[in-house]
Amino acid sequence: MDVLYFAWVRERIGIPREQVETSAATVADLVAELRLREERYELAFSDLTALRVAVDQKLTDFDAPLGGVREVAFFPPMTGG
Amino acid sequence: MRVVVQEQPFDIGAETITFAAGHKEMGAIVTFTGIVRDLPDDPLQAMEIEHYPGMTEAALTEIAQTAIDRWELGDALVIHRYGRLVPGEMIMMVATASKHRKDAFEAAEYLMDYLKSRAPFWKREITNTGESWVSSKAEDEDALTRW
């Protein structure tokens, strides 16, 4: 699936998007896998209360299932308007 | 309904006239415009707005449709810019059309409250002393509870 990062999450991880091969069942499982990769991921995901997640471009929770999902995005709380 | 996400400036006068022209049966048009505000203590050079192409349009459309249904609006317009803006520039506008003004005002406030914290935009301020991402405010999240 495609994993996208925005704002300071993108800056900490260093890339805007990447393809990830995973069998993670939920967003939380995917986060756990990413955190084990490298320190920059650990840094970006160290405080999940500071993050929001969208699955297939819909805002959701970290316990959302990932079956059949094409795109997951991580970002800080939004500041539009 | 019209939802526009664009980098270039928009003409609020032309947009408002076009929006109002299509609604003879609506007695009230409310527009709101957001401006890049300068920072008094640390002058702002620019504001950079990042967004999530695809999700942004979908989220704005959903927010606008909810407002149309709830207040029985004749129409709604949302324009939001991204990219690099300088103080004084217009960031975004909303317009609502309803039979009576109360619904148009309320629906415009609803659109603004949801745009702040449910549309995937992120603001970054560039000042003389450095750059930083704008933090979300607890009051913006609290504002949603009134709806």
Instruction: Residue B19: give its domain's CATH number.
Output: 3.90.1170.40
Cα angle: B78, vertex B83, B89; to 5 degrees: 65
Interchain pair A73, B112: CB under 8 A: no
Interchain pair A81, B54: CB under 8 A: no
Confidence of residue A72 (pLDDT cuts 50, 70, 90): very high
Residue B118 has pLDDT above 90, yes or no: yes
The predicted structure's pLDDT at residue B115: 95
Q: Is the dihedral of CA B105, B111, B114, B115 positive or negative?
A: negative
> Which candidate from A4, A73, A80 shows the least CB-CB separation from B116?
A80
Q: Which of B122, B142, B144 to mutate to test the interface with A (most CBs of A within 10 A)?
A: B122
ipTM above 0.90, yes or no: yes
Whether the full predicted model's pTM is greater than 0.80, yes or no, is: yes
Q: In whole angstroms, give the CA distance from residue A51 to residue B115.
A: 18
Residue A81 in any domain: the answer is no
Residue A80 in any domain: the answer is no
Residue A23 in any domain: the answer is yes
Task: Extract the tokens encoding A25.
Answer: 């069942």
Domain range enclosing A10: 2-75
pLDDT in tens, B83-110: 999 999 999 999 999 999 999 999 999 9
- What b/e string do you get for B52-78 counting C-beta neighbours within 10 Å, with b at 16 or more? beebbbbbbebbbebbbeebebbbbbb
Total of domains in chain B: 1
Residue A61 in any domain: the answer is yes
The whole-angstrom distance between B100's CA and the closest CA on chain A is 25
The predicted structure's pLDDT at residue B40: 85
Give the residue from B30, B110, B34 showing the smallest Cα distance to B74. Answer: B30
pLDDT in tens, B28-76: 999 999 999 998 888 999 999 999 999 999 999 999 999 999 999 999 9
Interchain pair B135, A57: CB under 8 A: no
> Which candidate from B119, B135, B141 shows the least CB-CB separation from A80?
B119
Domain range enclosing B13: 2-146
Total of domains in chain A: 1
pLDDT in tens, A13-55: 999 999 999 999 999 999 999 999 999 999 999 999 999 999 9
Q: In whole angstroms, give the CA distance from residue A1 to residue A22.
A: 8
